[in-house]
Amino acid sequence: MEKRIKAHTVINQLVQDHYCRALSAKKNGEMVGWCTSNFPQEIIETMGLTVVYPENHSATLAARQEALPLCGHAEAIGYSNDICSYAKVNLGYLDQVGDQSLHIPLPDYLLCCSNICNQLMKWYENIAQELHIPMIFIDIPFNTDYETDNIRLQYIKTQFYDAIKELEKITGKVFNEDKLKQVMRISNEVGKAWNRISDYACHQPSPFSGTDLFVYMGAAVCIRGREETRDAFYVLLEELEEAVRVNKSKCRYDQKYRILYEGICCWPALLRIATSMALYGMNIVGAIYTNAYGIEYNSLDEMIKAYTCVPNAVNFEKALDMRLAEIDKKHCDGALVHMSRSCKVWSGILYELTRKIEEKTGTPTIFFDGDQADPQNFSEAQYDTRIQGFYEVMKG
Partner 1 sequence: MHCEERMEKFKAIATNPRKQLDYYLSQGKKVIGCFPLYTPDEIVYASGMIPFGIWGAECKVSKAKRYYPAYICGILQTNLELGLQGALDGLSGVLITVLCDSLKCAGQNWELGVPQIEMIPVIHPQNRQSEAGKQFLVAQYQKILCKMEEISGEKIKAEDLRAAIKIYNAHRSVMREFAELASVYPKDISAKYRNYVIKSGYFMDKAEHVKLVRELIISFKDIPAKKFKGVRVVTTGIIADSENLLEILNENRICIVADEIAHESRQFRVDVSEEGEPLESLASQFCDMYGCSTLIGGKIRRGEYIKKLVQKNNADGVIVFMTKFCDPEEYDYPMIKKTLDEAGIPTLLIEVDKQVRNYEQARTSIQTFAEILRQ
> Under the criterion CB under 8 A, does residue 139 sit at the interface with partner 1?
yes
Window contacting partner 1 (CB under 8 A); options: 144-152, 181-189, 236-244, 287-295: 144-152
The only residue of 86, 109, 123, 280 in contact with partner 1, by rule CB under 8 A: 123
Q: How far is the CB of 93 from partner 1 (least distance, A)?
A: 15
In our burial notation (b when 16+ CB lie closer than 10 A, e otherwise), range 174-187 reads ebeeeebeebbebb
> Under the criterion CB under 8 A, does residue 382 sit at the interface with partner 1?
no
> Under the criterion CB under 8 A, does residue 372 sit at the interface with partner 1?
no
What is the number of other CB atoms lying within 10 angstroms of the CB of residue 281? 14
Judged by DSSP in three states, 33 sits in strand
The only residue of 4, 6, 122, 196 in contact with partner 1, by rule CB under 8 A: 122
Our CB check for partner 1 shows the closer of 48 and 146 to be: 146
Q: Regarding beta strands 109-113 and 50-52, do their DSSP bridges make them parallel or antiparallel, or are they unpaired?
A: unpaired
What is the number of other CB atoms lying within 10 angstroms of the CB of residue 345? 15
Radius of gyration for the chain, computed over Cα atoms and rounded to the nearest angstrom: 20
> Under the criterion CB under 8 A, does residue 344 sit at the interface with partner 1?
yes
Window contacting partner 1 (CB under 8 A); options: 125-133, 202-210, 272-280, 302-310: 125-133
Our CB check for partner 1 shows the closer of 101 and 150 to be: 150
C-alpha distance from residue 172 to each of 26, 43, 205 (Å): 16, 14, 51
Cβ–Cβ < 8 Å for 277, 303:
no
Paired with 135 in beta bridges are 110
Our CB check for partner 1 shows the closer of 13 and 119 to be: 119
Window contacting partner 1 (CB under 8 A); options: 23-31, 52-60, 277-285, 350-358: 350-358
Amino acid at site 301: D
Residues numbered 160-179 forming contacts with partner 1, rule: CB under 8 A: 162
User: Could you tell me how many residues of this chain bind partner 1 (CB under 8 A)?
Assistant: 43
Q: What is 334-364 written as a DSSP string?
A: EEEEEEETT-HHHHTTHHHHHHHHHHHH---
> Under the criterion CB under 8 A, does residue 352 sit at the interface with partner 1?
yes
Is the dihedral angle over the CA atoms 67, 72, 73, 74 positive or is it negative?
positive
> Under the criterion CB under 8 A, does residue 289 sit at the interface with partner 1?
no
C-alpha distance from residue 292 to each of 189, 204, 225 (Å): 15, 23, 15
> Under the criterion CB under 8 A, does residue 141 sit at the interface with partner 1?
yes
Window contacting partner 1 (CB under 8 A); options: 1-9, 120-128, 187-195, 267-275: 120-128
> Under the criterion CB under 8 A, does residue 82 sit at the interface with partner 1?
yes
**Which residues in this chain contact partner 1 in the complex, by CB under 8 A?**
77-80, 82-84, 114, 117-119, 121-123, 125-126, 129, 137-139, 141-144, 151-152, 154-155, 158-159, 162, 315-316, 339, 341, 344-345, 347-352
